[in-house]
């Protein structure tokens, strides 16, 4: 699948930090993780921590699928608001899903700190009303988040302008968010896994997968065989081809990164994550080297040629979107790219076994919370494989 085009900033920033080899022999393992992006890397780490023998296989060079195109805002808020999700799945499951994302940010911070202290930044998150008509919704959202124990503050237009320097009718400020370089984080995770005995192979495509009652057998494009007791599909949007029912819609999204500005002070208060109530929503964050990332302008289709044709105009529109919000910050675009993402009706991932494929597990972290969802998936699937009952699994099942 053609997942992205343009020039993702993280590839330029981090290059190819480590080399991996393609599989060149037949092997056996306890669990095969198919996919070496952020989902597969977090899965491998969790399995390894549980003492489970595993191997990671990726058809591409490690990290060069959707991971390198991620803008990596880590938020407990999912693409469907808590007040809306309550109506879809009930308040108990809705609040629990939000709290699980919140807990994942803390877990990811702990993991990152063990690997490197330079690739994880905690941030506030500012969710603002894109129009006056959204204020009532924002007030309802603030109330339900407060009731469910989240640390949030409501700002009216004047308070928002005074504190963050831009004009909008109102906003919710959340005190628990973060940002990361997901591409580098993936490499750091896998390198740590390798030191602990995990085998990682890239440029190794699985062309035939046979699911049996006693295990799974994979044939690679080069004719080698991998035999595993269990198989975890962590190939992101490409995993949908293995499922015979529609679980998500594929969309296109766009992102731009400014030139390095060498500003001596923060661009805005604490350089918080900023996003709005529009559909599709506009979002922005900063980088450690004083750049601004701005993304959004999504399109509800999957057509690589059509997607790529829009990149130039979307780049211009996103730069204008930022300038309208912060007219005094001179945004000059240096990098731009477009990528694919999948959206589910309730904004939640699918984390489950699939009965038609024995000994299979799917970690499908769809939506804007792919990284936090991936950590949740790693924990739930590891529990499933080790025979532990996970009380949250039903929230993300295929049959929910």
Q: What is the dihedral of CA 232, 236, 238, 239, to 10 degrees?
A: 30
Is residue 245 very low, low, confident or very high in pLDDT (cuts 50, 70, 90)?
Answer: confident
58 pLDDT more than 90: yes
| Residue intervals in the chain for CATH 3.50.50.60 | 4-69+183-247+347-396
268 pLDDT more than 70: yes
Q: What is the pLDDT, as a whole number, of residue 256?
A: 98
Nearest to 213 by CA among 331, 312, 360: 360
Q: What is the pLDDT, as a whole number, of residue 254?
A: 96
Q: Sign of the CA dihedral 57, 394, 89, 136?
A: negative
Identify the residue with better confidence: 328 or 241.
Answer: 328
Query: How far, in Å, CA of 18 to CA of 141, rounded?
Result: 43
β-partners of residue 333 are 258
> Is domain 4-69+183-247+347-396 in CATH 1.20.950.20, yes or no?
no
60 pLDDT more than 80: yes
237 pLDDT more than 90: no
Q: In the structure encoding, which two tokens stand for residue 153, read together? A: 């503050």
* H or E, element range at 55: strand 54-57
Q: What is the pTM of this model?
A: 0.94
Q: What is the pLDDT, as a whole number, of residue 340?
A: 86
Is residue 116 very low, low, confident or very high in pLDDT (cuts 50, 70, 90)?
Answer: confident
pLDDT tens, residue by residue, 150-159: 999 999 999 9
Q: What is the pLDDT, as a whole number, of residue 21?
A: 97
206 pLDDT more than 80: yes
Distances (CA, A) of 50 to 66, 233, 345, 351, 379: 27, 18, 33, 18, 10
Q: What is the pLDDT, as a whole number, of residue 2?
A: 63
Q: What is the pLDDT, as a whole number, of residue 240?
A: 78
pLDDT tens, residue by residue, 62-106: 999 999 999 999 999 999 999 999 999 999 999 999 999 999 999
Nearby residues of 400 by Cβ (< 8 Å), 6 or more positions away = 89, 346, 348, 394
């Amino acid at each position: 699948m053609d997942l992205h085009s343009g020039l993702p900033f993280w590839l330029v920033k981090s290059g190819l930090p480590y080399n991996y080899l393609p599989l060149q022999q037949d092997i056996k393992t306890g669990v095969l993780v198919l996919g070496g992006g952020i989902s597969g890397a977090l899965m491998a780490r969790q399995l390894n921590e549980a003492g489970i023998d595993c191997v990671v296989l990726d058809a591409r060079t490690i990290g060069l699928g959707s991971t390198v195109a991620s803008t990596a805002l880590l938020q407990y808020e999912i693409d469907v608001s808590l007040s809306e999700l309550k109506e879809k799945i009930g308040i108990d499951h809705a609040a629990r899903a939000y709290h699980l994302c919140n807990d994942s940010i803390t877990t990811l911070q702990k993991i990152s700190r063990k690997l490197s202290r330079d690739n994880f930044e905690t941030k506030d998150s500012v969710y603002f009303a894109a129009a006056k008509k959204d204020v009532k919704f924002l007030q309802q959202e603030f109330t339900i988040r407060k009731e469910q124990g989240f640390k949030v503050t409501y700002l009216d237009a004047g308070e928002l302008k005074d504190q963050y320097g831009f004009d909008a009718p109102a906003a919710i400020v959340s005190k628990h968010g973060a940002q990361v370089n997901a591409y580098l984080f993936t490499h750091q995770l896998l390198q740590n896994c390798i030191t602990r005995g995990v085998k990682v192979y890239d440029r190794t495509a699985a062309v035939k997968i046979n699911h049996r009652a006693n295990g799974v057998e994979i044939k690679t494009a080069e004719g080698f065989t991998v035999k595993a007791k269990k198989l975890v599909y962590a190939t992101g949007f490409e995993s949908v081809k293995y499922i015979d029912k529609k679980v998500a819609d594929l969309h296109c999204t766009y992102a731009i990164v400014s030139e390095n500005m060498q500003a001596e002070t923060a661009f805005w208060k604490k350089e918080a994550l900023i996003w709005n109530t529009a559909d599709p929503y506009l979002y922005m964050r900063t980088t450690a080297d004083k750049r601004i990332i701005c993304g959004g302008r999504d399109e509800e289709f999957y057509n690589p040629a059509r997607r790529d044709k829009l990149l130039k105009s979307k780049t211009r529109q996103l730069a204008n979107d930022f300038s309208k919000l912060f007219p005094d910050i001179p945004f000059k675009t240096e990098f731009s790219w477009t990528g694919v993402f999948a959206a589910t009706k309730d904004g939640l991932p699918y984390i489950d076994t699939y009965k038609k494929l024995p000994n299979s597990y799917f970690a499908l972290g769809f939506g804007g919370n792919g990284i936090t969802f991936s950590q949740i998936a790693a924990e739930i699937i590891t529990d499933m494989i080790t025979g532990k009952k996970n009380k949250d699994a039903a929230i993300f099942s295929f049959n929910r």
